[in-house]
Amino acid sequence: MFFVDTLEFEGLGNRSYLAGGPRAAVVVDPPRDVDQVIAAAARRGVRIAYVAETHLHNDYVTGGLELARLTGARYLVPAHANVSFSRTPVTDGDTSAVDDHLVLRAIATPGHTPHHTSYALEEDGHAVAVFTGGSLLIGSVGRPDLVDPRLTERLARAQHASAHRLAAMLDDEVPVLPTHGFGSFCSSSQAEGDATTIGNERIRNDALTLDVDTFVKRVLAGLEDVPAYYTHMGPANAAGPGPVDLTPPQPADAAQIAERLAAGEWVVDLRSRVAFADGHVAGSFNFEATGKLATYLAWLIPWGKPVTLLGDTPAQIADAQRELTRVGIDRPAAAATGDPAAWVPEGEQLVSFPRADFADLTAAHERGEDVVVLDVRRKSERVNGFIEGSVHIPLHELHDRVGDVPDGTVWVHCAGGMRAAIAASLLDATGRKVTAIDDGFEAAADAGLTVTRP
């Protein structure tokens, strides 16, 4: 008998897997914080015999090398991945005996990266699952543009060929278990549903239903902007990431928070956008702990800038710290929790800004107020409809383009409210008068605003 346990990381939109038999297992594409993987293996009562990487990841720092060191597992890495540490190089067709009757077979599936490798788990010679990393995803494929712009079209064509290879090699009932596609920007589009099989993908995946030229054209046309921090992930993984330190950060009092702000460091408030708008430290930024914290904070922050975390509880700080290690933000400079009033020096006050919905924006227009509507959604969202007269600056560009926002009170919106809250905090920190629209974009037209749909 075999098992496959899925480890989900919603913040980054990725999954890792623990799979094996009664005594031993393999971990595929582990996260940076490997303690939870070790705990999962302990619950199963199995030894981690292998750690397997499908590719050098561009969207997170792997825990593979550290997990192999801690457990004594063999570390399987595609042979053509250029790394500077000792590992077991894997080439197409290589097999590794995981447990009695269970074998892991490497399948070369270039496309997401030139060296990308999928792994089929075979029981008595029959594939029972395939770990596809950034190759064949649920209804999609991993994006081909993260390695080198000169290789993008070639890798897109390779993705098509790799998908067809997997479909030809594996039976329809074989579960497809990808690493990306659940919100990760490594996916060329996002998954619909959370489970699939080779047979399902044969019917609905563009890589398996379209000819190669049509597929490549569609993939290249749909590529999103690449998060800025991705440029640091590949080199970190190639060098061999070290262990993480998840001990609590140094506590910060009001004077220290003020000093860090004065020094140009980032102070990040993890509380809900409602709580932040009601009262926060002037100059701090709001990245909700329950949002895509790691993705957006790592995308916006100047790389290497010290960050101090403010939160409701020590547990909230600890969860955020764990998530940030996955994208290479290893140690917060400091942290504070509890009553926000204690985060400012005596005699000073928290600051605030209003929240609103689209109906409030309509009312502001009707009153003749000097309103600037700022849309911080991505380009791919805006092409499906935007508020007439709005200014468009995607959130990930805003920190460097604050000067491009016209004068006036800025009413900032996104698709649902979370990114608008981040943007409002960025503008508020510069002294701009802001209102954060905490509303779904679909409500804009119903509120009487003119929505242009190209």
pLDDT in tens, 86-134: 999 999 999 999 999 999 999 999 999 999 999 999 999 999 999 999 9
Q: Report residue 339 as tokens.
A: 């009553």
Per-residue pLDDT band for 135 (boundaries 50, 70, 90) equals very high
pLDDT tens profile 293-330: 999 999 999 999 999 999 999 999 999 999 999 999 99
CB distance 421 to 412 below 8 Å: no
Which residue, 348, 328, 330, is CA-closest to 340?
A: 348
List residues bridging with 286 in a β-sheet: 269
Say how many C-beta atoms besides its own lie within 10 A of residue 149's C-beta: 8
User: Among residues 235, 1, 198, which one has the least CA distance to residue 99?
Assistant: 1
Distance of CA 100 to the CA centre of its chain: 36
* Average pLDDT rounded to a whole number, residues 179-196: 79
Least confident range from 181-190, 282-291, 304-313: namely: 181-190
Residue 382 pLDDT > 90, yes or no? Answer: yes
pLDDT at 188: 67
In this model, does residue 291 exceed pLDDT 70? Answer: yes
What is the per-residue pLDDT for 454? Answer: 75
Query: Per-residue pLDDT tens for 402-434?
Result: 999 999 999 999 999 999 999 999 999 999 999
Residue 189 has pLDDT above 80, yes or no: no
pLDDT at 451: 96
**Strand 434-437 relative to strand 355-356, pairing:** parallel
pLDDT one-digit tens code per residue, 242-284: 999 999 999 999 999 999 999 999 999 999 999 999 999 999 9
Distance CA 406, CA 111 (A): 42
- Over range 44-73, report the average pLDDT: 97
Report pLDDT for 231. 95
Rounded to two decimals, the pTM is 0.93
DSSP category for residue 29: S
In this predicted structure, the answer to whether residue 142 has a pLDDT above a threshold of 80 is yes
pLDDT of residue 11: 81
Percent of the chain exceeding pLDDT 90 equals: 94
pLDDT average, residue stretch 40-64: 97
Mean pLDDT for the stretch of residues 223-239: 94
Of 304, 214, 243, 193, the closest CA to residue 62 belongs to 243
Averaged pLDDT score across all residues of the chain: 96
pLDDT at 356: 98
pLDDT recorded at residue 235: 96
The Cα 54–Cα 178 span in angstroms is 10
> What pLDDT score does 191 carry?
62
- Quick one: pLDDT at residue 13? 87
Residues 6+ apart with CB under 8 A from 373: 361, 387, 389, 390, 391, 411, 413
**183 has pLDDT over 80:** no
In angstroms, rounded to a whole number, what is the distance separating the alpha carbons of residues 451 and 413? Answer: 13
Least trusted range by pLDDT, from 6-15, 86-95, 227-236: 6-15
Band of the pLDDT at 190, cuts 50, 70, 90? low
Percent of the chain at pLDDT above 70? 99
Q: At residue 224, does pLDDT exceed 90?
A: no
pLDDT in the model for residue 232: 96
Contacts of 20 (CB under 8 A, 6+ apart): 2, 3, 26, 44, 46, 49, 98, 99, 102
